[in-house]
Amino acid sequence: MIIRLDQQNKEQAKQILHIQLAAYQREAEQIGYQDLPPLKETVKAIMETDEMFIGFERKGALLGIASYEMHEDRIVLCRLAVHPQHVHQGIGTKLMQSIIEHQLPIELTTAEANIPAIQLYEKLGFKQTTSLQVENNLMLTKMERSMLRKVEVVEYQTSWPEQYHHELDKLKKVVGDNWVEGHHIGSTSVKGMAAKPIIDILLEVKHVSELDKCNHLFRQLGYEPLGENGLKGRRFFRKGGLSRSHHVHAYETGHDDVKRHLVFRDYLRAAPERADAYAHKKRQLAKAHPEDIASYINGKDAIIKEIEQEAYNWSKQLKTNDQTSE
């Protein structure tokens, strides 16, 4: 069965390294290259990495491991290792299938001479993209697996605030005493604005790290816990797979990103012409990239930065006006 591993636990880090050294030594012998980076790692190095680790366990014994980095628009596979005594049992496939379930594009790099690994990845839908040469003439091949999520921008739905409140009530019970406040953010929080039909929820909590203990409760609500997911100090949860329905962004109260999200939302509520411009841009991008979420996200970057700066200036002016009126 597939299990989540905690590489910061020294005993688990030792098990990870044991499998990694055995597997990559076998690969080194197969490709005729003894200087593979995974063979130089230590328990300390594994404990310090921010990668997400999973393992394949049978009868209490760890037989294979994989690790990866989660990004908003993709996954980067960092390592895949099965103990040599347990190869050809489908363990590598099961580990990869577990990662594929995140429903994001996946990138990886492997030795060009590692034919068994390349064949495994191709069977799972990966395609070779580029080759590169590193030191001592080792040739690597980059591979990618695309994941299509339909990009859909719809007109404002009057049910969105109700959906937010309904979900917030459930989240309060999950977070418990750690709760501070919840906010409806994102485009679905701006009345009259077209948006992807995903309810974005901002949670303020007392201690963000305590949320890690609630991951099983978030899963019971249908959420996928993704840790910081690229933003320091955040805990991110998503719901709905390819038919995404909710995002939860959790921060400790007082975090700078709490204010950033709320000022962005409040400015769009107060400046309907800018909300219209943002919605127009999203419609254009959704039409141009109906099955390319990464291009859709990248295409919004410039106008988001523009609006964020405008929102900051607007908020600063409001504060100045308030101080003057006093």
pLDDT in tens, 249-276: 999 999 999 999 999 999 999 999 999 9
Q: Which helix (H) or strand (E) holds 150?
A: none
Going by pLDDT thresholds of 50, 70 and 90, the confidence category of residue 230 is: confident
What is the reported pLDDT for 114? 92
Residue 148, pLDDT > 70, answer no
> How remote is the C-alpha of 222 from its chain's centroid?
16
Q: Which of 317, 314, 291, 11 is nearest to 152 (CA)?
A: 291
Instruction: Give the pLDDT mean for 20-48.
Output: 92
Instruction: Give the pLDDT mean for 201-224.
Output: 95
Biggest CA pair distance of the chain: 76
Residue 20 makes CB contacts below 8 A (sequence gap 6+) with 38, 41, 46, 65, 79, 81
Going by pLDDT thresholds of 50, 70 and 90, the confidence category of residue 326 is: low
Q: How far is CA 245 from CA 56, 125, 167, in A?
A: 30, 26, 11
Q: Which of 3-17, 80-94, 132-146 has the lowest mean pLDDT?
A: 132-146
Going by pLDDT thresholds of 50, 70 and 90, the confidence category of residue 325 is: low
Residue 192, pLDDT > 90, answer yes
62/202 Cα distance (integer angstroms): 37
What is the reported pLDDT for 186? 96
Q: How many CB atoms lie within 10 A of CB 79?
A: 21
Strands 61-70 and 2-5: unpaired
What is the reported pLDDT for 89? 94
Strands 199-205 and 179-185: antiparallel
71-108 residue pLDDT tens: 877 899 999 999 999 999 999 999 999 998 887 889 99
CA geometry: angle 174, 180, 183, nearest 5 deg: 85
Query: What backbone torsions phi and psi does residue 240 show, to the nearest 5 degrees?
Result: 110, -5
What is the reported pLDDT for 266? 98
For residue 238, the cross-strand partners are 224, 247
194/197 Cα distance (integer angstroms): 9
Residue 141, pLDDT > 70, answer yes
Residue reference for tokens 């989540």: 4
Residue 122, pLDDT > 80, answer yes
